[in-house]
Chain A
Amino acid sequence: MPDAPTSRRLLLSATALIALGGPAAARSIRGALPWSPNEAYPPPRVTAGGWLYFTAEEAASIEAIANRLIPADALGPGGGEAGCAIYLDRQLAGPYGSSSWLYMQGPFARGTPEQGLQDERPPAALYRQSLSAINAHCRARFGGRAFPALSPEEQDALLHAIDEGRSGIAGLEDKPFFEMLLQNVMEGFFADPIYGGNRDMAGWKLLGFPGTRYDYREMLDRPNQPYRDPPVPLSGLRAASWQVAR
């Protein structure tokens, strides 16, 4: 394989279909399996730093929302603390945010619920529009305060109204926005920490999910026994607070 893994990966991705010009891009494989040792395609690790997609107010709003959907309590940290906003920021800056893997050709029609997603706006645009509508509503209704500055009770009441489709917020489609939001916040709380959320594996520790251990054969003779080893993320044991508690 002359190609570096990254460039080969680019060649393989369906999005590269459009980008590629030049000579015949087909790969012919014969005689041997076409890979070299130590060639793998891990996801890029999300690193700390400024927001890639969100404005400061959008980020603060998502943090506040995540802390209400998954509140900090005796069971552990809240969604905002666990990094759900960073997670979502990085997702919206990537192919998820632009729907670039999805079929986005028109004509667009509303369709039946059974026909699924038919929205022309990709998630990044939907978040921008919806968060701005929510914050404009908050400022008008709550004496100039945006969502993050509301009390937890006010925040909960507003989120309940959106969840139930009765917020009346101009420029916001309650239900589709809330479904997307709830799904994405849960993703941020429970996805591997490599994506920026689930900080210190807070989501996994809440459940008792051991992460990427990948081998549980030793437990097969112990049905109904608790699993005691701490969780391990994709980035490996060193990143985890590694100790055997058995």
Chain B
Amino acid sequence: MSRRLPPTDVVVVGLGWTGSIMSYELCRAGLRVTAIERGPWRDTPTDFPPTTAPDELRYSIRHDLFVRPAQETLTFRNTMNQTALPIRRWGSFLPGNGVGGAGVHWNGQTWRWHPWDFTFHSSSVARYGADFLPQDHMMQDWGITYEELEESFDRFEYLCGISGKAGNLGGQLQPGGNPFEGSRRRDYPTPPMQMTAAPQLFAKAATELGWKPFPQPSANLSQAYTNPYGCKLAPCTYCGFCERFGCGNFSKSSPQTCVLPVLVRHPGFEARTECQVTRVNLSRDGKRATGVTYVDTAGQEWEQPAALVLLCAYQLFNVRLLLLSGIGKPYNPATGEGVVGRNYAYQVTGGATGFFGQDKIFNPFIGAGSVGMVADEFNADNFDHGPAGFVGGASLACILTNGRPITNRPVPPDTPRWGSEWKRATRDNYNRWAAVGLQGSVMPYRGNYLDLDPTYKDSNGLPLLRMTFDFPENERKLSRFAVDRCVEAVRAMGAHTVRRNEISGPYSIVPYQSTHNTGGAIMGSDPKTSVANKYCQVWDVPNVFLSGASLFPMNAGFNPTGPVGALAYWAADAIRDRYLPNPGPLVPA
């Protein structure tokens, strides 16, 4: 029996990056906000102080911070004619859990996406013609432009204190920055991080190849910074324990360092932790959300009534909650109809690992999640795709994040995996390898989608989300093309041996690739092909707003959190300035 609680103005489901930003912005707008988070409270001094944070086994290998699959996971198959099986142990991606969400253990590579990304469909048709687009694609523009989002990108960067170098200030190209980026109103809040040996070598080689390398925009801070909320961050110490770890130094931008200290003190705010939201409740006609139902750790079910519901549960779980709640028509790949679950995309990853001679000492343990140099020549539509024969692109980067020894001790190809020869090669190469990696776009396709699994259930007895995904030929072409460029770069850096890392065989959930899942509850300009309008408001249920990468109709050649943060600000503004004065659909259907 579910017990009913007194109503609140806003229920926020999930207290990660988007949940914390939207909670605070709406508290400041005078609303009472209740955030409900399935995992525990987490903070720097208790959960990841420097005395316990640098623990590779606990965090990176045993996955201490991520949601435990025993609590919630999903099922997976490559194609519709296979039977999906549960992801019993995380591999390809690592969903967050607890206050801060994946914002606790991200790397902090923080991008504005290209203006082209937001109009990727119409721009591709205009330049290459509709026949050039890959078979079975579901490409469609976002319904919002880079120019509309520019201010929100800026706010997220200043919230985080991002360390970087502008490439395009008000249309003026800036030497040392990314010459391909969209126009920005001002430079990054803090200067770029100081580069370590490998990125420096890559920058030199990339310049020789005719590329224009620039520093990775970084949420590991180059210097102390106080953000507009008054939260303080400290300079990064290059400890080499970033991705998969909480930062013990207050130097990685996260909900913990950037928002929670002020959010928790706000009288309008309450967080309820260790409570799993199981559905959004709807009015009898299904046109209005009345609140959410959640289950606490004692198994007690509660109903929290609210005037507004924000889904901030991460891409995968936003989509699952929509499906469990019966909000929006589920996508049917057979007919192409329906919206919830369509346009699921992922990330092309890979690159080239180079092994160098005795003269190099890279000290790979001196690293940070975002310390590196990037080349953007082959991303988005920054080059002519005609000869390449695929749509989309990839950013190439030399980012030496860590030399953690359980995972990161590559040896040249053909080295045995164990024994004396392995041991010698491991010792000889630990300090003498460097990689150039790529992050490539993935277009949306008819057969790549999310729905509910018919067989497997979570610990509350509710169906798991089911993922059907493989990399189509367009993305495999992109992978080969971009890996070729990485190999060129690693050779130009002087490597004597190079190992290619490219897509071969079907997509696998076993090796880690990236926690850059996108789509499934996309924004757009037509309710027939999108779940939410350009204000992230659900077409069918206007008092539900969405957040996160579930809104993206495609995935670009960059990490997602820049636009995720920007859209959180954008949606919070729309709620305050447009929805509150006149609650109802913000865009006529």
Contacts and interface: CB of A to CB of B under 8 A. Distances in A.
Contacts of A219: 238, 363, 366
Interface in B34-54: 39-41, 43, 45-47, 49-54
Interface stretch (B81-89, B142-150, B151-159, B205-213): B81-89
Contact of B296 (A12, A24, A224): A24
A2 interface: no
B589 interface: no
B403 A209 contact: yes
A182 B47 contact: no
B25 to A, nearest CB: 18
Contacts of A42: 51-52
Given A43-B55, A220-B196, A100 B70 contact: yes
B246 to A, nearest CB: 11
Contacts of A115: 76-77, 84-85, 87, 509
A221 B52 CA distance: 28
A192 interface: yes
B405 interface: yes
B510 A191 contact: no
A33 B239 contact: no
Contacts of A236: 51
B270 A29 contact: yes
B5 to A, nearest CB: 10
B137 interface: no
B197 A224 contact: yes
A116 interface: yes
B419 A156 contact: yes
Interface in A1-44: 11-18, 20-35, 37, 39-43
Interface stretch (A63-71, A143-151, A238-246): A63-71
Interface stretch (A125-133, A168-176, A199-207): A199-207
Interface residues of B, number: 99
A238 to B, nearest CB: 13
Contacts of A18: 459
A53 interface: no
A215 interface: yes
Contacts, number: 258
A220 B193 CA distance: 10
Chain A interface, DSSP helix/strand/loop, else mixed = loop
Contacts of A17: 71, 297, 459
Contact of A24 (B69, B271, B300, B404): B300
A224 B201 CA distance: 11
A108 to B, nearest CB: 9
Given A100-B70, A116-B91, A31 B459 contact: no
A226 B430 CA distance: 12
B261 interface: yes
A103 B464 CA distance: 11
B406 interface: yes
A165 interface: no
Nearest to B91: A116
Given A23-B298, A209-B403, A227 B363 contact: yes
B269 interface: yes
B248 interface: yes
A15 B78 CA distance: 31
A33 B261 contact: yes
Interface string A175-215: 00000001000110011101100000001101111111111
19 contacts: A26-B274, A27-B273, A32-B264, A33-B43, A41-B47, A43-B55, A73-B420, A75-B427, A101-B62, A101-B63, A103-B73, A112-B82, A209-B405, A212-B50, A212-B54, A225-B363, A227-B363, A227-B366, A234-B54
Given A30-B264, A35-B46, A191-B57, 17 more contacts: A12-B274, A13-B40, A20-B298, A24-B300, A27-B41, A30-B270, A39-B45, A40-B49, A43-B58, A71-B420, A114-B509, A191-B406, A206-B427, A214-B53, A216-B366, A223-B196, A234-B52
